[in-house]
Amino acid sequence: MLLQAAGALSSLRILTPLMISNGGLRFASSTAAGVVDKIGFVGLGAMGHRMAKHLLDSGKALVVYDSNRFAIDRLLEDAGAAAASGGSGTVEPARSPADLAETRGVSVVFTMLPGAMAARKAYLGADGLLAASGGVVPRVMVDCTTLDPPTARELEGRVRSTRINTALAGPPVPGLAAESPALLDAPVTGGIVGADKGTLSFLVGGEEAALPFVEPLLRSMGNRVIWCGDAGDAQAARLCNTLVMAATMAATAEAMALARRLGVDPWVITRVLNSGSGRSWVSQEYNPVPGINTDAPASQGYRNGLRSAQVVEHLAMALTAADKCHSPVPVCRNTLKLFNKVVEDGLGDQDFSSVYRYVYGSGSSNNEWRSGEQIFNSTH
């Protein structure tokens, strides 16, 4: 699925099933045939690099920026390799986000940054996207960074109040303002593995008219697009998902450690959980006990997953949001406390399922882990 030139937007519209919302089927439109425009990408870290590579592999002309020159070089190498094997995708480095946003033909910019501070800098900094002289060329910006909802809403407002450089920009996107760009917040779930395999889920919020314009691109990087509502709503949904995921992981790890101490085989307790009310994505696909799910990080030394340090960061963000609206989250708050201990214990760079190592302690395959008794005796 190619993103077609904005100029061809009205020529031929193809309706494709986008998603099932409450009881109804909605349709997104895309256009066929036309000039291939350019896609901007800011933030080429572990996630961004993999996502940009999917765009490259699907033949896109990318204009990219990262504060780390090596990250740009890595993608340039990918582009060289792709070209050598007949690929039509290209990579053009920009000197800054502002430079990128001034580049003729850039119709969409994706940003995938490590957090709120980096995202603010990329959008609002002295050489940020919105500092493009003469206005910005891209009509739609898509921020895939995981952010707190207020920051997402603030960025959306700032983008909306920026002017389009109409001399260099493509024609207006139907349904969007002609003089100012739109920002969608589009945080992802699925982690590095999902980014690698192109199986990310994008949670998207903001001006809905912008979605059809970018959805084919999202679908070349992921396999699910869930519309969440207004600006910030996708970030809110993303944080709520993290709360549930982390608490379920913690409880499952605690229960499986307890089962093992009570003499119950991990396979048996997994079967019991999965047979009914204890079932979850954690117990079925991401089991924290090594050997149960061969593809899960637990079976690979707790490597190549979602780092506990990052879970802590996102949980803290979610709890801040909960505090601001006075929403009680006692179990999730305790989950953050547990993952904080996991990180303090030196497991921050391991996959977050290593919380099982923490609660099961020396009973696990690695004898160097302290036993649960030693860790917790003083605190409960």
Residues 164-223 that bind a copy of itself (CB under 8 A): 189-190, 201, 203
Q: Which stretch binds a copy of itself (CB under 8 A): 93-101, 119-127, 156-164, 246-254?
A: 246-254
Residue 192: which of 49, 288, 71, 25 has the closest Cα?
49
The answer to whether residue 378 forms part of the interface with a copy of itself (CB under 8 A) is no
The answer to whether residue 46 forms part of the interface with a copy of itself (CB under 8 A) is no
Contact 110, 41 (CB under 8 A): yes
The answer to whether residue 333 forms part of the interface with a copy of itself (CB under 8 A) is yes
DSSP 8-class letter at 347: I
Q: Which stretch binds a copy of itself (CB under 8 A): 1-9, 65-73, 79-87, 256-264?
A: 256-264
The answer to whether residue 26 forms part of the interface with a copy of itself (CB under 8 A) is no
Nearer to a copy of itself, 169 or 239 (CB): 239
The answer to whether residue 299 forms part of the interface with a copy of itself (CB under 8 A) is no
Contact map string, positions 82 to 111, toward a copy of itself, x by CB under 8 A: ------------------------------
Nearer to a copy of itself, 67 or 371 (CB): 371
C-alpha 308/C-alpha 323 separation (Å) is: 22
The answer to whether residue 230 forms part of the interface with a copy of itself (CB under 8 A) is yes
Strand bridging mode 38-42 / 24-31: unpaired
Tokens of 13: 């519209």
The answer to whether residue 322 forms part of the interface with a copy of itself (CB under 8 A) is yes
C-alpha 353/C-alpha 154 separation (Å) is: 34
C-alpha 332/C-alpha 323 separation (Å) is: 12
The answer to whether residue 283 forms part of the interface with a copy of itself (CB under 8 A) is yes
SS3 label, residue 80: helix
Q: Which residue in this structure is represented by tokens 């709360």?
A: 243
C-alpha 375/C-alpha 341 separation (Å) is: 10
Residue of 74, 121, 160, 224 that binds a copy of itself (CB under 8 A): 224
